Structure 1
């Protein structure tokens, strides 16, 4: 029994160390950017040793990738909650898009996912992460809308996903720098409605 309890404690300590590193790194990457953040300040902010950092992550880029992956997963969770499977397909696309913009309004998130993410991890690396999270949600929503007839059945799902994703990303960046969120939401909804009405 004691050994089992000890194993749990070790697991909990490991999880706590990882969470501390991710939290400290996220804050520093937002405040200073990836390039200007050093691993010594990350471990100091996390109150762990340098050895602990390299036990969990191969290098600073691997830590950054884990931060980005976590942020992308949180955004996708918000989209999925806002657009459950029982919503009509067209409404789900609009509600999911609104949820994306709301999730991206969290301070620092656009920097992590839309600016530093592609710069540090490359477009292919960022696409790989997106494909597991928000882009996956959008692709599924578009695919469902096409199959259900809410969008034209001859609309190519992959191309539509790519272009709508880019539009949502651009809107998130514009809102981050002071753009009117209501304006961008209205235009994106009109874009989706326009696709729905395309014959």
Structure 2
């Protein structure tokens, strides 16, 4: 029984990797479930055993991408002991990871379009936004800023970062756009720190 479960997990992991590659290269609309099935060496029925539809498979792929981005944010933010620097490093890591070619189309272009803003926002809230809120709670507890609504602040920063990544996703022909965005993030956080 344990072997069957391990094989099932391996099959699902393989399907997600193949699907991610297809969704990244071709986009959701131009990816056929048949091509994924063929590359995985499975039958269509075997795929439907694990995923209800192409859309369901895409949702799982997006969730995997968001988990990876969140792990990167946590890893890069922890490079500093200073809570304000952690916040900046985490914000920068989120933006840089989200606009990478392997993540951008799935996370920023097709994600909201295919699943809808409500589902996309709920997934974002579960991953990146929850980490941001934890950081802000830590900062408030340590006295980095006063009695400000963390709910509002989390949404404010998250909204700014999401809008920045969406903008950058469409600015890939201008390499300096990323540097401009990072300067603005640093400027905004520095302003918050001075006012805190």
CA RMSD across the alignment: 2.0
TM-score, with structure 2 as normaliser: 0.88
Q: Which residue of 1 aligns with 2:184?
A: 187
Contact 2:22 2:36 in 1 (8 A): yes
Q: Which residue of 1 aligns with 2:156?
A: 163
Q: Which residue of 2 aligns with 1:3?
A: none
Quote the Cα distance in structure 2 between the aligned partners of 1:173 and 1:122.
15
Q: CA deviation at 1:84?
A: 2.9
1:117 to 101, 111, 123: 111
Quote the Cα distance in structure 2 between the aligned partners of 1:168 and 1:175.
10
Q: Which residue of 1 aligns with 2:98?
A: 104
Aligned length: 192
Q: Which residue of 2 aligns with 1:89?
A: 83
Q: Does 1:30 align with 2:24?
A: yes
Contact 1:17 1:52 in 2 (8 A): no
Q: CA deviation at 1:86?
A: 7.4
User: What does residue range 146-157 of structure 1 map to in structure 2 within 5 Å?
Assistant: 146-150=140-144, 152-157=145-150
Quote the Cα distance in structure 2 between the aligned partners of 1:37 and 1:74.
22
Q: Which residue of 1 aligns with 2:71?
A: 77
Quote the Cα distance in structure 2 between the aligned partners of 1:165 and 1:189.
14
Contact 2:98 2:108 in 1 (8 A): no
**Structure 2 unaligned residues grouped into runs of 5+:** none
Contact 1:101 1:168 in 2 (8 A): yes
Quote the Cα distance in structure 1 between the aligned partners of 2:159 and 2:40.
34
Q: Does 1:9 align with 2:3?
A: yes
